[in-house]
Amino acid sequence: MSGNGDILRVDGLTMRFGGIIAVNELSFAAERGKITALIGPNGAGKTTVFNCITGFYRPSAGEISLTHPGGESFRLDKLNDFRITKIAKVARTFQNIRLFAGMTALENLMVAQHNKLMLASGLTFLGLIGAPSWRAAEKQAIERATFWLERIGLKDRADDAAGNLPYGDQRRLEIARAMCTDPVLLCLDEPAAGLNARESAALSELLLSIRDDHATSVLLIEHDMSVVMEISDAIVVLDYGVKIAEGTPQQIRDDQRVIAAYLGVEDEEVEAVEQELGL
Amino acid sequence: MAKIAHAAAATAAKPGVDVGFIFKKALISALVALVLFSLMIGVRTEAGPEGQLIYWTRFGDLAGMVGAVFVGSIVVELLRRWWGPVDTPRLMPEGARKTLSVAGRAVAPILLIFTILVPVIFYDQRYILDLGILVLTYVMLGWGLNIVVGLAGLLDLGYVAFYAVGAYSYALLATNFGLSFWICLPLAGILAAFWGVLLGFPVLRLRGDYLAIVTLAFGEIIRLVIINWQSLTGGPNGISGIPRPTLFGIPLVAGENGLAAKLGIAFSPSQRLVFLFYLILALALLTNWATIRLRRLPIGRAWEALREDEVACRALGINTTTTKLTAFATGAMFGGFAGAFFATRQGFISPESFTFQESALVLAIVVLGGMGSQLGVALAALTLIGGFELFRGLDQFRMLVFGLSMVLLMVWRPRGLIGHRAPTVFLERNQAISSDLVKEGHG
């Protein structure tokens, strides 16, 4: 592997819900400055892994550690949900879009800069008296939001309610909102779901630019293989909560177990695969 | 039924006046009225002197009623098209609509100027001044609760608890330690905010109905504690002899030291009322100013974001715990201010003033006004409290008429008087957001 090092390491991650093991002894790493995709058939446990990484679930066992470019390390399995974004700088989007529908696109991006603005407003007190330092910080935040609106081509809809935007625009706005929290790792849960071919291409371009221009590593769950194969630097394949393959897009494309997981296999092959997996 | 719906859909599709549809609808209403009223009004029966049934017909009255329903139906349908939802075709001419929209924007300033002038216009009318003070107290309470319910979307049914904490804080501090109103006012606010945080902690994980029940219980707990802690609060007897507020130490009384004597004018009892009026006006405007200010600060945006989607808030690194607690505390603080004012106005407080009915009334003001809208809450307080007084002449029908008008208002405007949301920041266009998109919060 290149000298960048890993930004995210998942070690022996297990997540149980009652008797169901959604994720079993999963270990993988995501390299800094790369786009890592997490793929697998429906119900493979991809979103559960995401929820563990972003603190929405507390893992039953295992370690998740994140290393900042400065060398600072965070144990994500020990941090509270909002602190993962606030301190460890991991941002996420959701499979079913979760924008603030009744707020404008611009307001959505302002809310994302909450922690920075909260400090700038002197925990509200400086803001209440309208201190110049607060005004400057607010102006800066609006500029930053405008930059991202321009970047996703929604500047002329900045003052429209987020819930009124077309589906594809909402997807991009959610990514822009996540980017406004200044993340080092951006976790996207099916960003291309429901997009048409043209929108998917625009999304690929956006994600590549996030990786290259904004020094943000990307972890991606996606079913749209054209997007995955085009932009991913590395792919991890999950099936029934177990990692069945890991590698570059080319390696994954040719992997027999991956093909079997997606397309099914002949009966006699099942035993062979199971033996190989130690099931 | 299906036919009517179909006809309605057809009219909605093509803009302009559909005389036929309106006429048909009115005719159907009149027919229903005829069937209903022919027995209720058309024929009058009574027991005769020997117990036999005597009856006589009143076809004139019946015709009058049916005619009224017919005309009323046409009027209602026309009104609905003028002021109805966005997608219904507009019958009102463009010019008139523009005038209305200009008038709409002028409502708030005109209302404010009128309120400031009330003591000047009605200087000698004690009743009007008292009513004005009452309305303003509820405007302030409504604005305070609006922070919790309207902005943060946390359904609070026990808001009166903070009103009570504020009132008792001032009453106890003033009667026991002789502290002045102006020192007690911030203390009452701080104490109420403290209780707001105390309520906030146990309900952090609760949502919707569950949150409502716990806050309801909290309001009752505070009231019951006040009733039963006789040694401190005087129990059901309340606290009397609460000092009146002073204008920076100058009391508003007759005699040497009073404000009137110092200014060299004749004393009048109205002076104290006018002073109280401007005091509560100032307090209410402070609440309004703070809310408008807070909405544009990160904390206010976080409150609204919390109402929209709590999970997304956490994914953006917002500490939802402190955000909820600050909403409770800020709302409670203004409730505490209002409580302190209430105590100093009445001069006497007892637990009877802090029943659940007060919480319900304030919540009704917020919901009726349009959750989150400052102007809406003010208008709703005026309508509700003023409405109570307006219908006083109707005696026993007062509550009936009042309740009916509430129901009609909510049918007419389900999202409150002012149903849309104004954005807190904009790039180019400051356009209101339709209420369909704005969430009500789920606790």
B305 touches chain A (CB under 8 A): yes
- Do A51 and B312 touch, CB atoms closer than 8 A? no
Q: Which residues of B touch A115 (CB under 8 A)?
A: 317-318
B425 touches chain A (CB under 8 A): yes
At how many degrees (to 10) do helices B208-228 and B356-369 cross?
A: 140
pLDDT for residue B12 = 45
In chain B, the percentage of residues whose pLDDT exceeds 90 is 30
User: Is pLDDT above 70 for B337?
Assistant: yes
Q: Which fold has domain A1-89+185-279?
A: Rossmann fold (3.40.50)
pLDDT for residue B287 = 94
Average pLDDT over residues B211-233: 91
Residue B318 and residue A101: Cβ atoms within 8 Å?
A: no
| Closest alpha carbon within chain B to A87 | B317
User: Is pLDDT above 60 for B2?
Assistant: no
Q: Which residues of B touch A82 (CB under 8 A)?
A: 313-314, 317-320
Question: Across the interface, which of A82, A91, A107 has its CB nearest the CB of B318?
Answer: A82
Residue B311 and residue A85: Cβ atoms within 8 Å?
A: no
Tell me the residue ranges of DSSP E strands in chain A: 6-17, 20-31, 35-39, 61-67, 73-75, 90-92, 185-189, 217-221, 234-239, 242-247
Q: What is the DSSP string of A249-265?
A: HHHHHH-HHHHHHHH--
Q: Which tens digit of pLDDT belongs to each residue from A191-211?
A: 988 888 888 888 999 999 988
Which of A14-18, A204-208, B189-193, B252-256 has the least mean pLDDT? B252-256
Q: Which residues of A touch B429 (CB under 8 A)?
A: 159
pLDDT for residue A4 = 60
- The domains of chain B are located at 2-92, 123-412
Residue B298 and residue A118: Cβ atoms within 8 Å?
A: yes
Which of A12-16, B20-24, B286-290 has the least mean pLDDT? B20-24
Question: Across the interface, which of A98, A104, A118 has its CB nearest the CB of B312?
Answer: A98
Best residue in A159, A175, A181 for a mutation probing chain B (most B CBs within 10 Å): A159
User: Is pLDDT above 60 for B11?
Assistant: no
Average pLDDT over residues B238-247: 85
Residue B421 and residue A91: Cβ atoms within 8 Å?
A: no
pLDDT for residue B227 = 93
Burial class (CB within 10 angstroms; exposed 0-12, middle 13-18, buried 19+) of B293 = middle
Average pLDDT over residues A131-149: 90
| Closest alpha carbon within chain A to B294 | A128
Q: Which residues of A touch B293 (CB under 8 A)?
A: 127-128
**Distance in angstroms (rounded) separating the CA atoms of residues B330 and B194:** 10
B411 touches chain A (CB under 8 A): no
Which of A186-195, B95-104, B213-222 has the least mean pLDDT? B95-104
Residue with more model confidence, B87 or B385: B385
Can you give the three-state secondary structure of A180-200, one letter per residue? CCCCCEEEEECCCCCCCHHHH
pLDDT for residue B10 = 44
Which of A260-274, B163-177, B316-330 has the least mean pLDDT? A260-274
Question: According to CATH, what is the number of the domain B123-412?
Answer: 1.10.3470
Average pLDDT over residues B268-280: 86
Would you give the end-to-end CA distance of chain B in angstroms?
37
Which of A49-53, A168-172, B417-421 has the least mean pLDDT? B417-421
- Do B101 and B90 touch, CB atoms closer than 8 A? no
User: Is pLDDT above 70 for A178?
Assistant: yes
Q: Which tens digit of pLDDT belongs to each residue from A211-243?
A: 888 889 999 998 888 888 888 999 998 888 888
Average pLDDT over residues B345-363: 90
Best residue in A111, A119, A138 for a mutation probing chain B (most B CBs within 10 Å): A111
pLDDT for residue B8 = 45
- 3-state class percentages of chain A: helix first, strand second, coil last, to nearest 5: 45, 25, 30
Average pLDDT over residues A16-30: 88
The minimum CA-CA distance between A100 and chain B, rounded to whole Å, is 5
| Closest alpha carbon within chain A to B289 | A128
Provide residues of A within 8 Å CB-CB of chain B: 54, 56, 81-86, 91-92, 94, 98-104, 106-107, 110-115, 117-118, 121, 124, 127-128, 142, 146, 155, 158-161, 163-164, 177-178, 181
Q: Which residues of A touch B302 (CB under 8 A)?
A: 111, 114
The encoded tokens of residue B72 equal: 């009323």
- The domains of chain A are located at 1-89+185-279, 99-181
Query: Residue holding tokens 């200014």?
Result: B263
pLDDT for residue B339 = 95
Which of A95-109, B332-346, B349-363, B379-393 has the least mean pLDDT? B379-393
Confidence of residue B442 (pLDDT cuts 50, 70, 90): low
pLDDT for residue A80 = 80
pLDDT for residue A1 = 38
Q: Which residues of A touch B427 (CB under 8 A)?
A: 106, 142, 146, 155, 158-159
Q: Which residues of B touch A84 (CB under 8 A)?
A: 317
Question: Across the interface, which of A94, A100, A127 has its CB nearest the CB of B305?
Answer: A100
The encoded tokens of residue B63 equal: 């015709």
Average pLDDT over residues B395-404: 77
Confidence of residue B7 (pLDDT cuts 50, 70, 90): very low
